Amino acid sequence: MTWVTRARIRVNRTATAWLIRRFVDPAAIFVFVDPGEVAGLQQREGATGFDAPGATYPHRDAEGRCSFEALVDRYRPDDAALEELARIVHGADFDEVGLVPESAGLRAISGGFPLVAGDDHEIVERAAFLYDALYASLKARLGVPG
């Protein structure tokens, strides 16, 4: 399936791409465009948009969730470690870093993504290790096997 979002990804878009590829659609194809193009591409191509105006999963939905939180709620509602990661992503993305302590670190790290990667596709690939490690750490902290 094709997923479309705004270009120049940072916190939520990177985390959401990781979540999609890891738990929702392992063969996901990501397209990164200008914000105003997301809704049109979503409609024309049958893609699923996230973190953009008019997207299926907008930047902030009616419940106040970022796209990462909305996708966790839809696809992995019983995964306690992902629920905790969603709180971290929310705090980092909406600059509510006091929400949970890890949000400040994730926000700082995400600001460096474009400084060490050539494009958004490379950010998705390279950041997967970070999100895998954070997810594993949260699972261990919560005593979740595996």
Which tens digits make up the pLDDT trace of 85-97?
999 999 999 988 6
pLDDT of residue 48: 98
Report residue 126: phi and psi, to 5°.
-75, -35
Per-residue pLDDT tens over the stretch 10-27: 999 999 999 999 999 999
- Residue 99: phi and psi, rounded to 5, are -55, -55
Evaluate whether 3 touches 33 at the Cβ level (below 8 Å). no
Report pLDDT for 19: 98
Instruction: List the chain domain ranges.
Output: 2-142
| Per-residue model confidence (pLDDT) at position 145 | 84
Q: Looking at the chain, how many residues does it have?
A: 146
State the pLDDT confidence band at 70, using cuts at 50, 70 and 90.
very high
Residues 6+ apart with CB under 8 A from 29: 1, 2, 3
